[in-house]
Amino acid sequence: MSVQRETSQPLRVLPRGRHAAPREVVAESQRERVLVAMADAVADKGYNNASVADVIERAGISRRSFYEHFANKEEAFLAAYDAGVGGLLEAIAEAEDEAGVTAGGAGDGGLLARAHAGTEVYLQLLADNPAFARTFLIEVLGAGPDALARRDAVHERFAERMAATFDAIAAQVPDLPRPNAYVFRAAVGAIHELVTDCLLKRGAEALPELLPAILEIELRLLSGRVPEPPRR
């Protein structure tokens, strides 16, 4: 399940009767609908209050179909978390790589271009998917130890991605000192704090407004420089 705009096409409705889809296609569609429904139900009611009944009602499937895919609510939640975050990371990586090619991939300009592109996509996707944003940034905190372990692993993946981006630029800029690993993790934590605070106080639609602040955090921590405003 990739992260997509909530205003994009709705989930496909599979044909029935003599036009019914193959069994594996039906199963995949059911699983995807459960993942989307899980994010919606948890965002609406909170993880502890959302039930399997809430999920299957939103997904439009039977209870039996739900348990053919998942053992319980927690397993479905973790699957939705993994799928959503995976799509988010893919979109960020694609935007950063494309920006790096466009900028020539050299110097602080390349670092700023990649940071700007990846951060902009990150914030916009969260803004376009408010249920995903609330479920997997806030409600995950109350979803149990396995969910917290997943969250920690995701923060580490973001830090590793940031480090990889830095290294790709630093290879062409010998005088750019490389921060310690904990600096990348600290940058992820700072960004997460800003995003969560905005989400709680102002709503997901305000998240893109954080772009300048987050870019400053990234550039100050990673290069010791203050970024110039991006050119439009």
Let me know whether 96 and 197 are in one domain.
yes
Same domain, 129 and 206: yes
Which 3 state secondary structure label does DSSP give 106?
Answer: coil
Given a cut of 50, whether residue 2 has pLDDT beyond it is no
Residue 3 lies in a domain: no
232 within some domain: no
Q: Say what percent of the chain tops pLDDT 90.
A: 44
Q: What is the mean pLDDT of the chain?
A: 80
Q: What is the pLDDT of residue 183?
A: 86
CB proximity list for 178: less than 8 A, separation 6 or greater = 166, 167, 170
Judgement on whether residues 91 and 186 belong to the same structural domain of the protein? yes
What tokens were used for 190? Answer: 């700072």
Identify whether 207 is part of a domain. Answer: yes
What's the pTM? 0.76
pLDDT at 226: 45
Which stretches of 48-173 are DSSP H helices? 52-59, 63-69, 73-102, 107-128, 130-137, 145-170
Is the same domain home to 50 and 106? Answer: no
Asked if residue 178 lies in contact with residue 166, where contact means CB atoms within 8 angstroms, the answer is yes
Q: Are residues 130 and 31 in the same domain?
A: no
User: Tokens 């969250």 — which residue?
Assistant: 151
- Beta carbons within 10 angstroms of residue 213's beta carbon: 14
Answer whether residue 225 shows pLDDT above 90: no
pLDDT for residue 82 is more than 80: yes
Instruction: Assess whether 95 and 164 both reside in one domain.
Output: yes
H or E segment to which residue 212 belongs: helix 211-223
- Residues 117, 134, single domain; the answer is yes
Domain membership flag for residue 36: yes
| Count of the separate structural domains present in the chain | 2
| 44 in any annotated domain | yes
The predicted structure's pLDDT at residue 231: 56
| Contact yes or no for 155/188 (Cβ under 8 A) | yes
Domain region containing 30 = 17-69
Per-residue confidence band for 19, with pLDDT thresholds at 50, 70 and 90: very low
Q: Specify whether 49 is located in the same domain as 100.
A: no
In one letter, which amino acid is 210? L
Does the structure show a pLDDT above 70 at 10? no
Residue, of 226 and 42, whose pLDDT is higher: 42
- Identify the pLDDT of residue 67: 95
Cβ–Cβ < 8 Å for 189, 218? no
Domain endpoint, select from 27, 51, 69: 69
- Between the ranges 74-83, 154-163, 221-230, where is the mean pLDDT highest? 74-83
Question: Please, what's the b/e burial string for 132-157 (b: 16 or more CB within 10 A of its CB; e: otherwise)?
Answer: bbbbbbbbbeebeeebeebbeebeee
For residues 136 and 40, the answer to whether their CB atoms sit within 8 Å is: no
d(CA 166, CA 162): 6
Whether 116 and 35 map to the same domain: the answer is no
Where residue 1 falls among pLDDT bands split at 50, 70, 90? very low
Shared domain check, 160 and 120: yes
42 and 111 in a single domain? The answer is no
